[in-house]
Amino acid sequence: MNAVEIEEAISELADQSFDPEGFPFAFLEAFGNKATTLKRLKSGSSNASDIEGGVLQRNNIHLLVCEKGDVSKTLATLKDSPATTKGKAKFVLATDGADLEAEDLNSGETVACAYADFPNHFGFFLSLAGITTVKQVRESSFDIRATGRLNKLYIELLKDNPDWGTAERRPDMNHFMARLIFCFFAEDTDIFHGDNLFTATIDQMSARDSSNTHEVISELFRAMNTKIADRASTGLSRWADGLPYVNGGLFSGSTDVPRFSKIARTYLLHIGNLDWKKVNPDIFGSMIQAVADDEERGALGMHYTSVPNILKVLDPLFLDDLRDQLEAAGDNARMLLNLRRRMAKIRVFDPACGSGNFLVIAYKEIRAIEAEINRRRNEPERRTDIPLTNFRGIELRDFSAEIARLALIIAEYQCDVLYRGQKEALAEFLPLDAQNWITSGNALRLDWLSICPPTGTGVKYRAEDLFSTPLDQAQIDFENEGGETYICGNPPYAGKGKKTTQEIDDMEFVFGSRSVKHGYIDYVGCWFLKAAEYGLRTDSSFAFVTTNSLCQGHQVPLIWPVLFETGYEITFTHTSFKWANLASNNAGVTVAIIGMSLTPKRVKKVISIADDGSVLSKDVANINAYLVGAVNILVQKQSKPLNGLAPMNLGNMPYDGGNLLLTKSELVNLGLSPLQRKELVRRIYGSKEYISNIERFCLWIQDERLDEAMQVPEIQRRIEAVRAMRSKSTDKGGQAMAARAHQMREMRTASKQTIVMPRTSSESRTYLPAGLLNVDNVVSSEAFGVFDAPLWQLTLLLSRVHLVWIATVCGQLETRYRYSNVLGWNTFPIPKLTEKNKADLTRCAEDILLVREAHFPKTIADLYDPEKMPEDLRHAHERNDEVLERIYIGRRFKNDTERLEKLFELYTKMTTKGAA
């Protein structure tokens, strides 16, 4: 169950009459517990409570329904009960049907409310459903609830008005929803005079059978589009006259309204009766935009970008600087004034703004700084100098663009109330400003210079549609006194193979004039290039969230030389972290944040999360394309190891049409004697065979044994089949191989042992799945082999340091690491190793191999499943990392960022020495 579904279930429960006996189970059911789980709890078999009537679900919650007035006492009893501790309950909850109290035993947070109100606090309990939430979501019960209700209404309306769901009318439908949301907010915040004016008027004036609901709403919209002075002449119904003139583009154009069924009308009234004062524009927009998106609706409201993540972009981009300036200004009135003037000219531009969350946060943060300036300057009620229209965006989806604008309007109003008081906020709120500063369109096709004109130059802009204004709307001028522009956002990522035809065309449009294989670059790369090109014309810096693959492997030499050529430098980065949201289908993509500027900065910042979870911030002189505090350098393929390691080669390519390879049963069918089996057959390992211990064999025939082999009819048939297949080859190499059809293209093998390294490995593993094969086994071209190398070289492959190097320089194929000998092994920087070091490392490799063996028959896939990795194996790896990392820097690295920094330092030395 997702949060929206849970909210619905909880609300339904609270609406029903209170059933003391059934409540604990109904409550647990609302949080997604299955019927069988509840049955076991009811029967008592899994109920761990030690209190009469109590229900204790282990690792979750201990609940008790009590006598009237005993709620607080009962909560204390639940808290003190030994079973609560023993059963590791996260929550205790007591209710008498009139009041409800609960406590989160981990955080100590409590809830105490009327029973009927507990759905307002459902976010508090979300972890009961396994949804771990950031604080803002827990506190956003209203937003989740409103999203769920609006979603129901949207679906119901589309059901009754299928024409509104067509591509042509969808924008009308979305626009209609935006108007409703505005009205709900306005009627609860005194923007509309009178309590619940909009909803109450619909309730009173529309027939209960819903037949004229659309006409009533349409008339109300017409009122909001009619200036007070013009009302008498337009024949507006008297009951609609109480609504103010709003417009600002929001109510202009058609006042057409979809028809309402009785159910839709009820939904509408329910939504109107929510308390919209509680709406939080930081996240409401992100949640609500899924409503209009047929594909996203399943994960309704769950693609939520947390405020802390947005601040990871905005703080280092410009907010930290503003706060530093504020601090430096102290109470100096002139410095404070200068800072305010500077802020008034700052433009924040998100060219993939979705519902405007980055813009909303930026606006609110700047308003907070301004409020502090005004406080220190003793001008607390001063009207804001920060124009909302300086927070500009482009968004492809029209509903999201509408919501972005609404979210900003709401944010402005809320900031005015907060910093200046409600009276002042109301006095200036209506009518809305008609300017269009959130553009609905394709950011990669639009000219950013016309949306955010270069500072100091007046540029006229022809906007695409936003609030139903016709596409050929009048040009809009923005005041443009000059100032800084900060471009930010989290544009769509879309890697190779994930792009739509439109997106592939967009890439061609953006990269076309440059000779770059842009097909391999993630779609998000377009925003980097557009932002860099924009900055060549006007004072700006930018920072985007991006998939970290843009800074790994083969994408690095494609995009980064192009970006660096513009003169831009990376001024800060937040290295890889999981960008998790609440969507159940989203395990969290790994992203990085990259900030770039044309203005040279002596000190750049690398921000990263340490292995212990703390945040590290390091000042460096340069940040390279791999997001490492090191010189700009591209790791190049090397045909031989630069580091003194043994050569690593790809295994043997069968090139056999399947005839040299054998399954176990095919091997049995050959009918070989034990001696023949030993001399003519080998077990063969590629990635899958090694990782999942899949038995596979191959004919392995030395020239001197060919005659003997040909005596076995099935072997002879197979060799002839290989010959026939290779003879048909169109390339000369293939044909030449037909002459030795009994062998694979290579016949690489070891005389003692082979270190095997699968070509691909799941990114979820903490270590690469390398290992050791004995002399009787061979490696296929689906894996690499290091033949007869000393065991300490296996240690390297099994280390965290090596995994990080491979992830960075070789990159990933979808969600798998793609190993490369020429790019990864041959370039891997290692410190100088003493004989003692090698002996220590050898012992580490032996330990790991011994532990693996002790878990036989578990496969590498079993053992390295991050959820199930055995403790002794984890320890053996930890020891391996400890020993190796001490050789690198005398201690453990704090995190991967530090590992990479050391590796790049060594790599630079190694390659410059080589070049010299």
Ligand X SMILES: C[S@@+](CC[C@H](N)C(=O)[O-])C[C@H]1O[C@@H](n2cnc3c(N)ncnc32)[C@H](O)[C@@H]1O
From the list 158-166, 347-355, 562-570, 854-862, the region that binds ligand X by CB under 6 A is 347-355
Angle between helices 501-511 and 525-535 (to 10 degrees): 30
460-499 positions binding ligand X, by CB under 6 A = 489-492
- Greatest Cα pair distance in the chain: 108
385 conformational bin, left if phi > 0, alpha if psi -120 to 50, beta if neither: alpha
Tell me how far apart the terminal alpha carbons of the chain are, to the nearest angstrom.
62
How far apart are the C-alpha atoms of 667 and 643, rounded to whole Å? 41
Q: Which is nearer to ligand X, 444 or 681 (CB)?
A: 444
Under the binding rule (CB under 6 A), the answer on residue 397 touching ligand X is: yes
User: What's the closest the beta carbon of residue 314 comes to ligand X, in angstroms?
Assistant: 12
The total of other beta-carbon atoms located within 10 Å of residue 400's CB is 27
CA distance 827 to 822: 7
| Residue 489 or 553 with smaller CB distance to ligand X | 489
Q: Which is nearer to ligand X, 512 or 658 (CB)?
A: 512
**Piece of the chain touching ligand X by CB under 6 A; list 57-65, 391-399, 421-429, 552-560:** 391-399
Q: For the CB of residue 360, give the shortest distance to ligand X in the complex, in Å.
A: 10
- Residue type for position 889: I
Tokens of 882: 């400890």
Site for ligand X in 294-323 (CB under 6 A): 305
Residue count (the chain): 916
Residue among 360 and 691 whose Cβ is closer to ligand X = 360
SS3 331: coil
When binding is defined by CB under 6 A, the residue of 2, 84, 255, 286 that contacts ligand X is 286
Q: Which of 384, 400, 827, 895 binds ligand X (CB under 6 A)?
A: 400
| Shortest separation between residue 571's beta carbon and ligand X, angstroms | 21
Q: Which is nearer to ligand X, 492 or 769 (CB)?
A: 492
**Contact between 395 and ligand X (CB under 6 A)?**
yes
* Residue 469 to residue 251: CA distance in whole angstroms: 10
Contact positions with ligand X (CB under 6 A) in 578-637 = none
CB within 8 A of 98, min separation 6: which ones?
Answer: 68, 114, 115
How far out from the chain centre does Cα 849 lie? 36
- Residue 443: CB partners within 8 Å, gap ≥ 6? 351, 352, 394, 395, 396, 491, 527, 530
Tokens encoding 4: 């929206």
**Cα→Cα distances 61→6, 630, 687, 688, Å:** 16, 50, 45, 43
Pick the binder of ligand X from 263, 346, 396, 653 (CB under 6 A): 396
Residue 131 CB, shortest distance to ligand X, in Å, is 18
Give the C-alpha separation, 424 to 504, whole Å.
Answer: 49
Give 490 or 555: the residue with its C-beta nearer to ligand X: 490
CB of 130 to ligand X, least distance (A): 23
Cβ at position 304, least distance to ligand X in Å: 8
Q: How far apart are CA 509 and CA 32, in angstroms?
A: 47
Using the rule CB under 6 A, give the single segment among 23-31, 349-357, 806-814, 834-842 that binds ligand X. 349-357
Pick the closer one to ligand X by CB: 179 or 303: 303
Distance between CA atoms of residues 174 and 278, nearest Å:
22
Would you say 342 or 445 has its CB closer to ligand X? Answer: 445
Does 87 contact ligand X by CB under 6 A?
no
User: And the tokens for 192?
Assistant: 């509309």
* Nearer of residues 226 and 357 to ligand X, judged by Cβ: 357
Least CB distance from residue 355 to ligand X, whole Å? 6
Give the residue from 93, 37, 21 showing the smallest Cα distance to 64: 93
Class of residue 284 by CB neighbours under 10 A (exposed 0-12, middle 13-18, buried 19+): buried
Q: How far is the CB of 152 from ligand X (least distance, A)?
A: 22
Q: Minimum CB separation from ligand X for residue 352, in Å?
A: 3
HSE, CB side, 13 Å, CA atoms: give it for residue 485: 29
Decide whether 142 or 544 has the Cβ nearer to ligand X.
544
Interactions with ligand X, residue window 24-63 (CB under 6 A): none
- Contact (CB, 8 A) for 41 and 70: no
Interaction mask 551-570, ligand X, x per CB under 6 A: --------------------
Amino acid identity at 731: D
Residue 491: CB minimum distance to ligand X, A: 6
Nearer to ligand X, 294 or 611 (CB): 294
Binding range to ligand X, per CB under 6 A, among 265-273, 389-397, 474-482, 600-608? 389-397
Answer yes or no: are the C-beta atoms of 270 and 156 closer than 8 Å.
Answer: no
Binding-residue total with ligand X (CB under 6 A): 19
* Residue nearer to ligand X on the CB measure, 13 or 559: 559
The answer to whether 226 and 236 have CB atoms below 8 angstroms apart is yes
Beta carbons of 99 and 113 less than 8 angstroms apart:
yes
CB of 813 to ligand X, least distance (A): 22
Q: Which is nearer to ligand X, 395 or 901 (CB)?
A: 395
Give me the least distance between CB of 89 and ligand X, in Å please: 35
CA separation (Å) from 553 to 65, 491, 565, 761, 818?
Answer: 59, 21, 19, 15, 9
Beta-sheet pairing, 783-787 with 438-440:
unpaired
Least Å from the CB of residue 407 to ligand X: 11
Applying CB under 6 A, among 71, 144, 240, 394 the residue interacting with ligand X is 394
Measured from the CB of residue 346, what is the shortest distance to ligand X in angstroms?
19
Single residue of 191, 326, 329, 444 touching ligand X by CB under 6 A: 444
- Bridge partner residues of 497 (DSSP): none
Identify the residue among 31, 142, 276, 358 touching ligand X (CB under 6 A).
358
Residue type, 468: S
Listed ranges 339-347, 367-375, 396-404, 510-518: which one lies at the site for ligand X (CB under 6 A): 396-404
- Closest to ligand X by CB, 524 vs 559, is 524
User: How many Å apart are CA 92 and CA 109, to the nearest integer?
Assistant: 11
Among residues 175 and 800, whose Cβ is nearest to ligand X? 175
For residue 713, CA distances in Å to 254, 709, 821 come to 83, 9, 39
Give the residue, chosen from 317, 352, 701, 773, that forms a contact with ligand X under the rule CB under 6 A. Answer: 352
- Closest approach of Cβ 506 to ligand X, in Å? 6
Q: Which stretch binds ligand X (CB under 6 A): 125-133, 388-396, 553-561, 568-576?
A: 388-396
Of the candidate spans 14-22, 129-137, 441-449, 901-909, the one that interacts with ligand X by CB under 6 A turns out to be 441-449
In the complex with ligand X, the residue whose CB is nearer, 255 or 400, is: 400
Residues 6+ apart with CB under 8 A from 45: none
Cβ proximity to ligand X, 509 vs 664, nearer residue:
509
Closest CB to ligand X among residues 55, 401: 401
61 beta partners: 57, 91
Q: C-beta of 666: minimal distance to ligand X in Å?
A: 50
Exposure on the CB side of residue 435, measured as CA atoms within 13 A: 17
436, 390 contact by CB (below 8 A): no
Q: Which of 343, 316, 335, 900 shows the shortest CA–CA distance to 601?
A: 316
Between CA 180 and CA 187, with CA 183 as vertex, the angle to 5 degrees is 145
* Chain residue whose CB lies nearest ligand X: 354
Residue from 243, 443, 778, 860 that binds ligand X (CB under 6 A)?
Answer: 443
In angstroms, give the least distance from the CB of 446 to ligand X.
Answer: 8
Interface residues with ligand X (CB under 6 A)?
286, 305, 352-354, 357-358, 394-397, 400, 442-444, 489-492
